[in-house]
């Protein structure tokens, strides 16, 4: 994990980057906008879309390591768009918020990943970016409530194209709309990854009763799959799909006393349920 303080006009952006994902530390920005951090934290936590991007990072400081709430870059942009400049009375803060809405994404991406290649289309101007950001919000809202698989595919394709125009990474559609997805399409890579690890002599089951239960640590799985170059997105969307899939035998996501002699947070499955589903 790389922690950086990015100079931005008369302010700064605190952010961390790990394996291509950027998370923005929220409290300093919220306070720079003259907003109440407690109220904004509740707003983000209650929003079914924004809360998917929340995480807590351990950040070094003069007083030692502190745990700070962060928001994934895509969700940070969604939070920024939700701030109405017209309601801000302080002219200086109104100007600062406008700068963040227009330029913060470009500044963050340029800091971590370099300037945009010359053969890529120009960045959208300020007005185009606001329009695209609103379209992202509209599509994310639509995806969250749709239950029609075909409508979901169309909206998801539009969302990914719009994010591409903003030079942002792909959205985790499984996290936005797990109930509308065919669970097998989401969960199949998970089971395939476990089999791929076993084929390489790596046993993913950490349960002390491996003949009855399967316990997989998502943190361990993400790390090992990255090391072994196995393509698997370990996310809340995958967890939701496993929960909703009757064939998975999912029991719970909880701490487990593992065969390694220590407790680990694991996704736990009943192996008997999987055998019945396979017959």
Q: Would you state the pLDDT for residue 267?
A: 95
More confident of the two residues 47 and 186: 47
Distances (CA, A) of 129 to 53, 100, 104, 132, 178: 21, 12, 12, 5, 28
Average pLDDT of span 201-227? 93
Tokens found for residue 59: 């950040």
Report percent pLDDT > 70 for the chain: 80
The band of 277, judged by pLDDT with boundaries at 50, 70 and 90, is very low
Q: What confidence category does residue 102 fall into, taking pLDDT thresholds of 50, 70 and 90?
A: confident
What average pLDDT is seen over the chain?
81
* Distance from C-alpha of 192 to C-alpha of 268, rounded to nearest angstrom: 17
pLDDT digits (tens, 9 = 90+) for 83-99: 888 888 889 999 999 89
Q: pLDDT tens digits, residue range 109-141?
A: 888 877 554 445 555 565 666 677 777 788 877
27 pLDDT above the threshold of 90: yes
The reported pLDDT for the residue numbered 160 is: 80
Domain segments of the chain: what residues? 2-113, 126-176, 183-278
pLDDT at site 121: 52
Residue 156, pLDDT score: 78
Q: In this predicted structure, which of 128-132, 153-157, 191-195 has the lowest mean pLDDT?
A: 128-132
Query: Which of 215 and 102 is assigned the larger pLDDT?
Result: 215
What's the pLDDT at 230?
Answer: 92
CB atoms within 10 A of CB 172: 16
Regarding predicted confidence, which is higher, 92 or 165?
92
Q: What is the mean pLDDT of residues 20-41?
A: 91
> Dihedral sign, CA of 169, 219, 41, 107?
negative
Do residues 223 and 272 touch, judged by C-beta distance below 8 A? no
Long-range contacts (CB closer than 8 Å, 24 or more residues apart) made by 205-211: 206/256, 206/258, 206/259, 206/260, 206/264, 206/266, 207/256, 207/258, 207/259, 207/266, 207/268, 208/257, 208/258, 208/259, 210/259, 211/271
- Mean pLDDT within 234-253: 81
Per residue in 42-93, pLDDT tens? Answer: 999 988 888 888 999 988 766 678 899 999 998 898 898 888 888 888 899 9
Query: Does pLDDT of 249 surpass 60?
Result: yes
Asked if 150 and 119 touch (Cβ cutoff 8 Å), the reply is no
Spell out where the chain has E strands. Answer: 2-8, 11-18, 21-25, 54-59, 66-72, 213-216, 250-257, 263-270
**Would you put residue 278 in left (φ > 0), alpha (ψ -120 to 50) or beta?**
alpha
pLDDT score recorded for residue 185: 64
pLDDT tier at 273, thresholds 50, 70, 90: very low
Taking alpha carbons only, the member of 84, 71, 102 closest to residue 33 is 84
């Amino acid at each position: 994990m790389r922690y950086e303080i990015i100079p931005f006009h008369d302010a700064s952006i605190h952010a961390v980057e790990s394996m291509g994902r950027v998370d923005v530390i929220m409290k300093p920005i919220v306070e720079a906008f003259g907003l109440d951090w407690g109220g904004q934290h509740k707003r983000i936590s209650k929003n079914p879309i924004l809360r998917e991007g929340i995480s807590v990072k351990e950040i070094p400081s003069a007083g030692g390591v502190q745990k700070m709430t962060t928001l994934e870059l895509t969700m940070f942009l969604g939070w920024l768009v939700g701030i109405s400049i017209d309601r801000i009375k302080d002219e200086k803060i109104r100007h600062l918020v406008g700068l963040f809405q227009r330029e913060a994404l470009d500044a963050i991406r340029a800091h971590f990943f370099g300037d945009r290649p010359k053969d890529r289309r120009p960045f959208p101007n300020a007005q185009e970016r606001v329009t695209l950001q609103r379209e992202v919000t509209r599509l994310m809202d639509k995806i969250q409530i749709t239950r029609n698989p075909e409508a979901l595919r169309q909206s998801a394709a539009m969302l990914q194209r719009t994010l591409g125009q903003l030079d942002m990474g792909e959205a985790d559609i499984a996290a936005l709309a797990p109930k509308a997805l065919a669970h097998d399409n989401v969960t199949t890579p998970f089971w395939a990854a476990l089999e791929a690890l076993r084929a390489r002599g790596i046993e993913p089951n950490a349960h002390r009763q491996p003949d009855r239960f399967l316990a997989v640590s998502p943190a361990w799985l993400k790390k090992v799959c990255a090391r072994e170059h196995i393509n698997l997105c370990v996310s809340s969307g995958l967890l939701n799909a496993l929960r909703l899939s009757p064939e998975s035998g999912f029991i719970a996501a909880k701490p487990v006393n593992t065969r390694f002699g220590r407790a680990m947070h694991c996704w736990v499955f009943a192996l008997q349920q999987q055998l019945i589903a396979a017959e």
